[in-house]
Every structure is written in structure tokens, then in C-alpha cells.
Amino acid sequence: MDESSCSAGKSYLTEDEAEPPGSAASALSSSSPSLCTTVATPTAAAPPKQTGKLRMKIGHQAEAFRRRFFPNAGVEQWCDWRWQLRHRLRTVDALSRVIALSADERAALFNPDRTLPFAITPYYASLISPHDPGQAIRRCMVPVIAETIVSPGEEEDPLHEEAQSPAPGLVHRYPDRVLFLATDFCAAYCRYCTRSRLVGGYDGGRAAAQRRRWEAAIGYIEATPQVRDVLISGGDPLTMADDQLEWLLQRLRRIPHVEVLRLGTKAPMVLPQRITAGLCRLLRRYHPLWMSIHATHPDELTPECEEACNRLADAGIPLGSQTVLLAGVNDDVSTMRRLVCGLMRLRVRPYYLYQCDTINGSRHFRTAVQKGLEIIQGLRGHVSGYAVPSFIIDAPGGGGKIQLLPNNAVNRENGEWLLRNYEGKIFRYPDRV
Ligand code: SF4
């Protein structure tokens, strides 16, 4: 669905979060002037005053971008996640003011066949190269015509989540855990999204529908005692207001057999301002609560991202990362090594490296499976074992996650195993007989 239907995003904001009359809803609407009213040529503006209310860091790159393209926004506004959401770049005009669009990107943005919505937070846009269409973050965010081409083997729902859904917005694939799709809204839309069939379909009547959906999903979990682990994802659940998120966490925490709650989010990468002190206080009330952070490229590991991860880790939340292997974005050992080592510094344990799912229009992002194995081989032994993610293919057809490993057990002969070490040397281990 096209996110242009996101015309009444106000329900993502609580009353007290709303801007002066009309502005919250209108800023999120497709007819919002968005960047058009705030873009200006570079100015020699005086450094903005920082007040005691300001909490989140602002890195040099983002600060230069803010001054150039949002000179009317103070640092406090820039560091407010709700301001970031309201000022997302969502139109060709808005985007073309900050980057020089290629002919391919321009054609894709105008193409009516494009199904995945388009939006980028100003903060994340500040990380995009204005001149290089091949830059990693730009490729993940800016549409190209290739995403409208469906190749053999691709499907709208390759993981067959709909077939394993006992209630709308709930996927029950593995025995002891469920995936709770709490929202279809994201701060920024990745061009390779597995749930591109679902995300961004917001409309004005959705708040009530969402609550009804949640109640049905919670009812299923309450009635299913083998569910001990609930992964709340979407969309991005951290785009929801604190009160909505707390309502959901509270309801799930009340279910006696639910032991662990997990949140899947890309907020620390695309909207680090969302990780407020208040959010951390809220989350720590619902431990044991884990978080999976969607990380794609080392360029995402900015001072803002670092601060967001530090806050979450300091709130006692175990952090893991999930990364999709993407051709021309992160499909080489050196990029992946910078990413996993950077995540470790941020106290995020690299958890999964996913082969890109076979969603419609994903061929240009998919690598050969062998590439993922080479990357794991190139990490193992060269970085700490904690920093080596599991390489996973989520089996098309709903088979679930399958781990792939480089084959280092070369052979067994004369009671000995021949094993290959990280340098490619062969060693013998006398096996017990
Ligand atoms: S943040 Fe996740 S759910 Fe949202 S568009 Fe990206 S991959 Fe999809």
C-alpha cells in the first residue's frame, strides 16, 4: 500500500505530544508542505541555543544538514523524535532539495507501480550522499525502477506469514513464540522490507481498527499457554507514542505464561531521538525485555545512534542486531567487519545476518548465498565470536529460519577429524571412538 494514505497520523501522537492545532496531523499528511516550507539555502546562522531540556547528541554531519536544510528548526526541535516524524521527506520535491536525484530514482519516485511507501527522517537523510546514487544508505532508502520488476521466485509474502496467522497481525510459526505486528508505520521505509505488503498503509480510521486487532491477538496469546516469548514488531513499534506502547506491554506482561518480551526496531538507526529518557524508564518496567535492532551499514553508527544504544543498554535491555545482506550495500567482509565491531562497541551483539527475502522487486538487492557464507568465514576468528552473527535464510514457504555455516569440518579419517581454521589451515582432532 502506498503511504500517501497516511493522512491522519495524529493517532501516533498523544494529545500532549500534538503540535498547535492542526500541525501534527497536517505535517504527517501527504499534502503537508513538508520540507518545502523549511528548506533554505545555507546560512551563517548563529549556533542554536541549547537549553537544559536538550538530551540527545547531535553529530557534526546531522548538524551541518540541519543548518543547511532546516535552519528554522532549533536543535531542540531537531532532537525531538516527533518533529523528526512530522518532517519526514516524503515527496520528490522534498527529496530533490537535499540530493541530486538520478534519472532512475526520479522515474521510480514517479512510478505508480511502486508499492512500497517512501519516507526518510531528516536525521537519516543527513546520512545520505547527495551525489552518489550507489551509496549504501541511499540505496536502502531511495526507490529505483528495479523494485517494480518482479523476478521468478519472488512473492508478496514469501515467508507465508499470512498462512501462519491465527489472528490479524499475529504470526505463530515456532512452538513457543509469536510475532506481534503492532503497527504498520515506520519512521523510514527500507526498500527491501520483508513486510512491504503491510507497511505504510495508514488511514484515518485505523486507530480503532488497530486496537481491535491488538485485542484479538492478545486474546489468542492468553489462550495459548505454550507462548512464552512475544516479539513485538511491525512496522516499527517504537514509532508509537509511549502511552500506546505501554498499554500493549502492560497487557502482554499481565499474561502469566509470557516470560519474555522483545521489540524489533530500526529506531536507533533512523530515529535515535526516539530513545528518550522517558522511553527507557517505561521499557525497564517490563523486563525481561530484549531488543533487536535492525542495522544495515556502519555509516549508521553515528554519535546519535551510539547515545541511543547506550541509553537502552543502561536501561538493562539486552541488545542484538539483525542485518539483511544486501548486494552493493554491505556484501563484503570489510564493511560487515566494521559494522559488527561498531555494534559491539555500542553494546549491541550482532545476532542475525539474513539472506534477503524473495519479496517482489528484490532481485537487485539479493546476493548469492555463497556471499553470506564467505562473510561469515571472513569474520570467524578475525573478530570475537560475540561479533559473528548467525547467517540465516528464512525459508520461502514458511519453513522458518535455517542457519547456514561454512563447512569447517572437512573430513573424518582414521579416527581423526580434519578441521579447517580461520586461516584456512587444516588441523587434526583425535575423535573419541
Ligand atoms: S524498518 Fe523494518 S518494517 Fe520498517 S520498512 Fe524497514 S524493514 Fe520494513
Q: Closest residue (by CA) to atom 3 of ligand 1?
A: 235
Evaluate the CA torsion angle 148, 234, 294, 110 in order and state its sign.
Answer: positive
Selection from 318, 343, 320 nearest residue 330 by Cα: 343
Q: Closest residue (by CA) to atom 1 of ligand 1?
A: 266
* Structural domains in the chain, sorted by start: 3-148 (no CATH), 162-403 (3.20.20.70)
**Residues, the chain, total?**
433
Q: How far is the CA of 196 from the centre of ligand 1 (A)?
A: 8
Quickly list DSSP for 93-138.
HHHHHHS---HHHHHHHH-TT--S---B-HHHHTTS-SS-TTSHHH
Strand partners, 321: 293, 350
Q: Which atom of ligand 1 is nearest to the CA of 234?
A: 3
Q: How confident is the model at residue 56 (pLDDT cuts 50, 70, 90)?
A: confident
In three-state secondary structure terms, 159 is coil
Q: Closest residue (by CA) to atom 7 of ligand 1?
A: 193
Q: How far is the CA of 184 from the centre of ligand 1 (A)?
A: 9
Cβ atoms of 7 and 29 closer than 8 Å: yes
Q: Which atom of ligand 1 is nearest to the CA of 192?
A: 7
Work out the burial of residue 179: count CB atoms within 10 Å of its CB; fewer than 13 is exposed, 13-18 middle, 19 or more buried: buried
Selection from 47, 41, 44 nearest residue 70 by Cα: 41
In three-state secondary structure terms, 391 is strand
Q: How confident is the model at residue 46 (pLDDT cuts 50, 70, 90)?
A: very low
Ligand 1: residue of 194, 198, 294, 352 to mutate (most ligand atoms within 8 A of CB) is 294
Q: How far is the CA of 252 from the centre of ligand 1 (A)?
A: 23
The percent of residues above 90 in pLDDT, for the chain, comes to 81
Poorest-confidence range of 202-211, 265-274, 306-315, 387-396? 202-211
Q: What is the mean pLDDT of residues 329-338?
A: 98
Selection from 91, 52, 98 nearest residue 75 by Cα: 52
Q: Which residue has the higher pLDDT, 30 or 105?
A: 105
Ligand 1: residue of 6, 190, 354 to mutate (most ligand atoms within 8 A of CB) is 190
Q: Closest residue (by CA) to atom 5 of ligand 1?
A: 189
The chain-wide mean pLDDT, for the chain, equals 87
Q: How confident is the model at residue 47 (pLDDT cuts 50, 70, 90)?
A: very low
Selection from 88, 226, 219 nearest residue 166 by Cα: 219
Per-residue confidence (pLDDT) for residue 6, from 0 to 100 = 28
CA dist list (Å): 198 to 139, 143, 168, 194, 215: 21, 17, 11, 9, 19
Ligand 1: residue of 2, 120, 179, 189 to mutate (most ligand atoms within 8 A of CB) is 189
Residue 318 pLDDT > 50: yes
Q: What is the mean pLDDT of residues 418-431?
A: 95
Q: What is the mean pLDDT of residues 416-430?
A: 95
Cβ atoms of 320 and 314 closer than 8 Å: no
Q: Which residues of 110-125 are buried (b: 16+ CB within 10 A; e: fewer)?
A: eeeebbbbbbbbbbbb
Q: Closest residue (by CA) to atom 6 of ligand 1?
A: 190
Q: How far is the CA of 31 from the centre of ligand 1 (A)?
A: 23
Report, as residue numbers or ranges, the catalytic residues: 173-174, 177, 186, 190, 193, 195, 357, 394, 401
Q: Pocket residues for ligand 1 (CB within 6 Å)? A: 186, 189-190, 193, 195, 199, 234-236, 266, 294
Q: How far is the CA of 236 from the centre of ligand 1 (A)?
A: 7
- pLDDT tens, residue by residue, 113-157: 777 899 999 999 999 999 999 999 999 999 999 999 999 999 999
Q: Which atom of ligand 1 is nearest to the CA of 186?
A: 4
| 289-294 β-sheet, strand order | 170-174, 177-181, 229-233, 260-265, 289-294, 319-325, 348-355, 390-395, 400-404
Q: Which residue has the higher pLDDT, 396 or 49?
A: 396
Q: Which residue has the higher pLDDT, 22 or 69?
A: 69
CA dist list (Å): 115 to 26, 118, 145: 23, 9, 11
Q: How confident is the model at residue 206 (pLDDT cuts 50, 70, 90)?
A: low
Q: 417: part of which helix (H) or strand (E)?
A: strand 416-420
Q: How confident is the model at residue 432 (pLDDT cuts 50, 70, 90)?
A: confident
Q: What is the mean pLDDT of residues 383-399?
A: 96
Poorest-confidence range of 262-266, 365-369, 371-375, 405-409? 405-409
Ligand 1: residue of 157, 184, 198, 199 to mutate (most ligand atoms within 8 A of CB) is 199
Per-residue confidence (pLDDT) for residue 210, from 0 to 100 = 86
Cα-Cα-Cα-Cα dihedral of 38, 135, 234, 230, to 10°? -130
Q: How far is the CA of 74 from the centre of ligand 1 (A)?
A: 28
Q: How many CB atoms lie within 10 A of CB 324?
A: 23
Cβ atoms of 331 and 367 closer than 8 Å: yes
Q: How confident is the model at residue 200 (pLDDT cuts 50, 70, 90)?
A: confident
